[in-house]
Copies of this chain bind each other. A is one copy, B any other.
Amino acid sequence: MSNTNTPPEHRERDTSHTTGHEVLAGVVQVRRGALKALLWQRARPPHPNRWALPGGRLHSDETVESSIRRQLAEKVDVRELTHVEQLAVFSDPERVPGNRVVATAFLGLVPCDTDPELPGDTAWHPIEALPETAFDHETILLTARERLRSKLSYTNIGFALAPPKFTVSELRDIYSAALGYRVSATNLQRVLSRRGALEATGETVAAGPSGGRPPALFRFTSRDLQITDRFAVLRPPG
């Protein structure tokens, strides 16, 4: 009832503390069969030497989306960042010692064929074996991985992890690494094709060193995120 006449943004401001807002991104990529995350090593306190997610403070003229894109541009070429989406807000008052900082977390994806130049303090780390991380960044990263795994099932988000053209086996390896278990190349191709997410380029590439049939090259039909509506359980008529 207290806001009957008082719009929230016009209430007396709480000045006993400073509340900041930062944006952070769990940027992941499949490299050499493992799902890896982009982390930079802190030099100063708090949490010196620990590894942290890329990000930084939100500016006054930015949306959280434009802010995270700006800040990630300092780490990786923006064109290599094929997908960015909001994850969640992390707002535990104690999540950062000292000042209050609310974080909007993002999931960022980089295709596996790119190897961007990184600053000296920045490196890829396998999510399965993370180094000591700062603040709640490990939690954020695990949330990011969970989101990715879910979306691999019901969207075409694989396009953001795969190169422009790929063989079905390569795509299977990407999916396997991201999901954490082996998937069948046969089923993967059939499922994605039936959804209209995958199409053959017509090209084939030479067989591997141990022989075998030369694989065909495929590509995703769309490089925008598309959700498979077939998962509506109680479907609309028609």
Residues of chain A whose beta carbon lies under 8 Å from any beta carbon of chain B: 1-11, 13-14, 16-22, 40, 42-44, 46-47, 52, 54-65, 71, 74, 86, 88-89, 91-93, 96, 98-102, 104, 119-121, 152-154, 175, 179-184, 187-188, 191, 231-234, 236-237
Contact = CB atoms under 8 A, between A and B. Distances in A.
A188 B233 CA distance: 9
Given A119-B1, A234-B153, A7 B175 contact: no
Contacts of A3: 40, 54, 56, 71, 74
Contacts of A8: 22, 55-57, 101
A188 to B, nearest CB: 6
Contact of A42 (B1, B7, B16, B20): B7
Contacts of A119: 1, 4
A57 B181 contact: no
A190 B34 CA distance: 40
A83 B40 CA distance: 37
Contacts of A89: 64, 86, 89, 104
Contact of A181 (B7, B21, B104, B236): B236
A7 B64 contact: no
Contacts of A7: 42, 44, 46-47, 52
A179 B9 contact: no
B17 A64 contact: no
B188 A234 contact: yes
A210 B135 CA distance: 63
B13 A18 contact: yes
Nearest to A187: B234
A14 B59 contact: yes
A150 B171 CA distance: 28
A226 to B, nearest CB: 14
Contact of A233 (B13, B43, B54, B153): B153
Given A19-B21, A91-B104, 13 more contacts: A2-B74, A3-B56, A5-B44, A7-B42, A7-B44, A7-B47, A9-B20, A9-B57, A9-B99, A63-B92, A64-B89, A64-B91, A180-B236
